[in-house]
Amino acid sequence: MNARFTPALFAHAEAVLGQLLRFEYPADAVVSRYFRDHHQLGHADRAFVAETVFAVLRRGRSIEARCAGRLSDRARLLVALAVVRGWSQRELAPVLKASEVDWLAAAKAMAEEDFRPAVRCDLPDWLYGVLEVQFGADEVLRLAAALNQPAPLDLRVNTLKTNREAVLAQFAAEGIAAVAGSLSPLAIRLRDKPALARHPLFLAGAFEVQDEGSQLLGYLMEPRRGEMVVDFCAGAGGKTLLLGALMRNTGRLYAYDVSDKRLARLKPRLARSGLSNVHPVRIEHERDTRIKRLAGKVDRVLVDAPCSGLGTLRRNPDLKWRQGEDSVAELAVKQAAILEAAARLVRPGGRVVYATCSLLTAENEAVVDAFLAGHPDFRPAPAAEVLARHGIAVDGDFLRLLPHRQNTDGFFAAVLDKKT
């Protein structure tokens, strides 16, 4: 059901956008807090507000170019509705002033091809410059177009509870449009974004929300029954749960993170999952003594390193305005230190998988190349060969997923095996 468009609803969008454009907090947190404070807004109203303000975050530079000097939150929203969401002036009539009619028509008529490449791509100049060097101007246009679209909703089936065919069959019976993922054997992609938090299968632990690209990290790890495995930067535990299921709930799986809050979010997910082999551990930093005790004893370590998150711009468009060259350089230093610490845990013959959801070579290949240069006892295993063993077809020695190629978030991963 569509929201009824009123001046009051537009005012809510304007209020949210004003908070977002300060870039003090992550966009999803700002929107969630606003909705908690304005609980009278129904589902359709919330959808309108969220979609419209996120359109401004995604298309900020081209929207500002079209505003032609009228750089107010109101102007940005009107252009977003008219250009990005395709609303007519008739649909905008409840809020559009007579003095804005000609201005908005002119804004809509501007040719995107006339904008500078970085503006056309809706990227900050520094980021456009880096991506152009990496991918070339033509591919950056395609990449940016994909990053400026909302992400689909992907699920991962919990094989300890069910299988993909059973979940798809139940969804079909309920009229929920869904298809099997094209890469991960566990992935389901939904056509829409239904509310699933109270769905019986979700409550029973039959599936979790997880981008299909992220699911491939579990298959790169190839954990076996009875092994000792560490998820070094576990966060809220999405990949921890995947690893536990691939281990068939055997062995020991340590979930390390520096944040109590993130590990707290793992607890209800863990309870639903049916896993009993997971041991969440809060650490102070990558040199924590609790980590050092496992030195040389661990079979496999996943390092899903803290990163710029620029591969997730479909979900988190504010990150391109919150990150900069300095913050990326700082992250690369931290990533190198974390990979170094994680590698110390691995026994001879063991494996480290280093991964980020960044698009940038500085956080990906450069970190791995520097690590390998200083650690002749590790060698890279071709990601394509590892995934082929599980029926997953990708190219390359490193895993690199991109939204305009695979329709996933942007992901990078390297498989690093320790020599025996």
What is the rounded distance in angstroms from the CA atom of residue 229 to the CA atom of residue 224? 9
Show the tokens assigned to 208.
């979790």
Q: Nearest-CA neighbor of 81 among 362, 156, 364, 67? A: 67
End-to-end CA separation in angstroms for the chain: 60
| Burial label, 63 (beta-carbon count in 10 A; 0-12, 13-18, 19+) | buried
Active site residue 357: yes
Residue 390, phi then psi, degrees to nearest 5:
-115, 15
Please list the residues that pair with 379 across neighbouring strands: 417
User: Read out DSSP for 213-270?
Assistant: HHHHHHHHH---TT-EEEETT-TTSHHHHHHHHHTTT-SEEEEEES-HHHHHHHHHHH
282 burial class (0-12, 13-18, 19+ CB within 10 angstroms)?
A: middle
Q: Are 234 and 263 in contact (CB under 8 A)?
A: yes
Catalytic residue among 67, 121, 307, 357: 357
Buried b (16+ CB within 10 A) or exposed e, 31-46: beebbeeeeebeeebb
Q: 3: left (phi > 0), else alpha (psi -120 to 50), else beta?
A: beta
Instruction: Just list the catalytic residues.
Output: 357
